[in-house]
Amino acid sequence: MKDGFIKVAVCTPDLKVADCFYNAEQMIQKAEKMEKEGVRLLAFPELAITGYTCNDIFLQDTLLEGALNALQKYKEATAHLNLVSVIGIPLEYKGRLYNTAMVLNKGRILGAVPKSHIPNYSEFYEARQFSSGKDMSAELTLPTGDTIIVSPRLLFAQEHMPEFCFGIEICEDLWMPDPPSGGIAQKGALIIVNPSASDELTGKAAYRRELVKNQSARTISAYLYADAGEGESTTDMVFAGHNMIVENGVVLKESLPFEGRDLITEIDLRRLKNERRRMTTFSMDDGEKENPQFTTILFDTGERAETPLTRKFPKTPFVPSDKKHRDERCNEILNIQTAGLVKRLRHTGCKQAVIGLSGGLDSTLALLVTVRAFQKLEWDIKGIIGITMPCFGTTGRTYDNAVRLSEELGITLRKIPIRDAVLQHFRDIGQAADVQDVTYENGQARERTQILMDVANQCGGMVIGTGDMSELALGWATYNGDHMSMYGVNCSVPKTLVRYLVQYYADTVKNETLKKVLRDVLDTPVSPELLPPKDGEIAQKTEDIVGPYELHDFYLYYMLRCGFTPSKIFRLAVYTFEGVYDPRTIYQWLDTFCHRFFRQQFKRSCLPDGPKVGTVSLSPRGDLRMPSDASDALWKEELDRIYHSLA
C-alpha cells in the first residue's frame, strides 16, 4: 500500500438463484483468487449470496436462514485472507426485511449497510419484500455470533492507512437526485462501493457508465460498481455483469455487458486525497445537520507492503491517448488560445501582432493561433508581422521554414539580422565574442526581444509570446528576453502538447505546401539556436542539455497537478517508461527538474498574461502562487534517498 496505492477488485460470481451455499462457495473461490493477486478490497453484487431475483422467496424463512448460514461459511473460509469483502445479503430486523451489504474481514462481520431507496416501478418491485433502511440505526447480534451495527451511515477504514476508507450505497441509491455517496464522501470516504443489480436494457449501459463516472468525479472518489450477472433469473429481466472501477471520473477498468469479467486494478488514494485538498469547495463539514454522525469501523488487511502496479499511466499525461479524443482536445485548446488573443486584441485596440519566428515548434504554434485570431476578427492577415532574426546559431533549415510559413499563411515577413547589433553590444560590455557562455546566449535572446518590442511600438501592435509551459517550469528562458511578451498564447501548453497541436493543424489544413512545412517543423530538433551550427546542422539541442521533454512533462504533471512526492513520481516514471529510460536516467532528469523548478520561480513570478488551457498552469495569478526563494531541501533529501537506493 506504499504511495497510497491499494489493489481492489469487483467480481460477479456464477450464482444460482436461491442456492445460498453454492453462491457462497463461488464467492469463496473468488476471494481466494483475488487475495493471491494482492487485492485488499473485494466487492460482490447486490444480494449476491441469494441472487437478486428471488422475488417472494425472500419472504421464506428457509432462504433467510440459508443466507446467514452461507454467510457464516464465507466468513470462516476467508478468515485467513488479508482482504475486506462487501457481500449483498437480505437481513431481517424487527419484522422487516432489508437489502443490505455486509462487510467482512478476517473472520469478522464488521457491519451492514441497508439500501436506502427501494424501487417500486416497472420491472422492479423490491418494495414488495424490502423496507428502506434510510433512517435505520440498529445494533443486533447475528446467528453467526457477530454483534454489528446496521446503518447507512457507516465508514470502514484500514487501521494502518486512514485514507483507505470506504462507504457503501446500493444500486438504486446511486440513481437518486441526492445519492448517499455524497454525504459518505464528505465524511471522509475515498472509496464508494456499490453492490448493484441493474437489469440490461437498450442504451442503459451508456447511461449507467456516465452516472458512475459523474458521481465518482463529483465526490472525488474511487467508485467500485459490482453488477449482477447472467446467473440471475431471466423470467422478466436479463442481467449482464456491467462492472466498473472508476477513479475521480476516469474509468480504470470496465467489464462491458455480457463479458462476465472480474476487474482488478489499483486505485491511488493519495491522489484522491490530494485532489480534495486542492478543491476547497469540497468541504468535509458541509451538511452536518442533514448527514448525522457517521460511525467508523476499523479493519486490517495485513502487511503494509508495496502494492505491485498493473494499471497504465500515460507517458504523456497532458495528451489524450486515442486519436479521436486527442483531435477534439487539440481543436478545443486552439479555440481557447484563439479566444484569449481575440479578447486581448479587441481590448487594446491593437490591429497588428508581432511574432518572432524561429522556424521551431513554439513560434509556429503561436503564429497559427494568431492567424486564427485575425481570421475570427475578420482582420487583414497582413497585420501579423513575423520577424526572423538570424544570428550565430541560425540554420538554413529553420530560417527557410520560417519564411515558407509566412508565405503560405500570407502574413507580413521582416528579416532583421542581429549579428552586428549583438557584436556591438558585446564590445560595449566587454564580452569576448568567442566566449560562448550564458552572456553570449542571453545577449542574443534579449536583442531579439528588444527588436520585437520596438517594432510593436512602431506599428502600434502587440508582441505575441511563444514560450511554452515546459520551458517555464524548467526556467529555460532568458529573463527579460524570450521570457517576456505582451500576451503569451502558449504559456500553459506543455511541450509534448505543442507538438500534437501543430500536428493536428498539419493534418487538417488543406494547403499541401503548408502541410509539408509544418511536418518539417515537427521533425526539427528543439533548439534556441544560440550557438553556432556544426556543418550547417543544429548544434544546440535543448533535450541534450535539460533532458527529454516527455520526462519533464511527466514530472510536471504529477508534481503540480497531483502533488506527488519525488519518490512516487520516480516510481511511476520507472514503471511507465520501462524499456525507454533506465532508472538512473529517470533519476538524473528528475533531479534536474526539481532543482531548476525551485530556482527558476522568479521568472514565473512576473509572467505576461496568457490563457489557461488545461488543469495545470504556472501563472502567479492562478494555479501557482509560490515564493521565488522557497527551499527545495525536503525534495532534495528524498532525491538523495532515491540516489542511494540506486547505488
- The residues carrying an active-site annotation are 46, 115, 171
Please check whether residue 490 is in contact with residue 362, taking contact to mean a CB–CB distance below 8 angstroms: yes
Instruction: Give the Cα separation of 233 and 52 in Å (integer).
Output: 8
Q: Cα separations (Å) of 248 from 7, 177, 275, 276, 292?
A: 16, 19, 9, 10, 25
Name residue 58's amino acid: F
CA distance 608 to 473: 15
The SS3 call for residue 551 is helix
Nine-digit cell string for 233? 433469473
Q: Is 97 exposed, middle or buried (0-12, 13-18, 19+ CB in 10 A)?
A: middle
CA angle 514, 517, 519 (to 5 degrees): 110
DSSP states of 137-170:
-EEEE-TTS-EEEE-SSEEEEETTEEEEEEEE--
Q: What angle do CA 584, 587, 590 make, to 5 degrees?
A: 150
C-alpha–C-alpha distance, residues 156 and 12, integer Å: 22
For strands 462-465 and 487-488, give the pairing.
parallel
Cell of 445: 535572446
* CA atoms of 270 and 503, how far apart (whole Å): 35
Angle at the Cα of 60 from the Cα atoms of 59 and 61, rounded to 5 degrees: 120
**Please, what is the angle between helix 323-348 and helix 495-508, to 10°?**
100
d(CA 291, CA 293) in angstroms, rounded, equals: 7
Strands 124-125 and 120-121: antiparallel
Residues 556, 225: Cα–Cα separation, whole Å: 32
Looking at residue 381, what DSSP letter applies? G
Q: How far apart are CA 460 and CA 385, in angstroms?
A: 12
- Exposed/middle/buried for 77, CB within 10 Å: 0-12, 13-18, 19+? middle
* The amino acid at 279: M
- 543-554 burial code (b ≥16 CB/10 A, e <16): beebbbbbbbbb
Q: What sign has the CA pseudo-torsion 128, 130, 136, 138? A: positive
Beta strands, E only, 328-418: 353-356, 384-388, 412-415
**AA letter at 304:** R
- Residues 62/55, Cβ–Cβ less than 8 Å: no
Give residues with Cβ within 8 angstroms of 374, minimum separation 6: 353, 380, 381, 383, 384
The SS3 of residue 196 is: strand
C-alpha cell belonging to residue 272: 484522491
Cα–Cα distance list, 574 to 3, 367, 434, 612 (Å): 14, 36, 41, 30
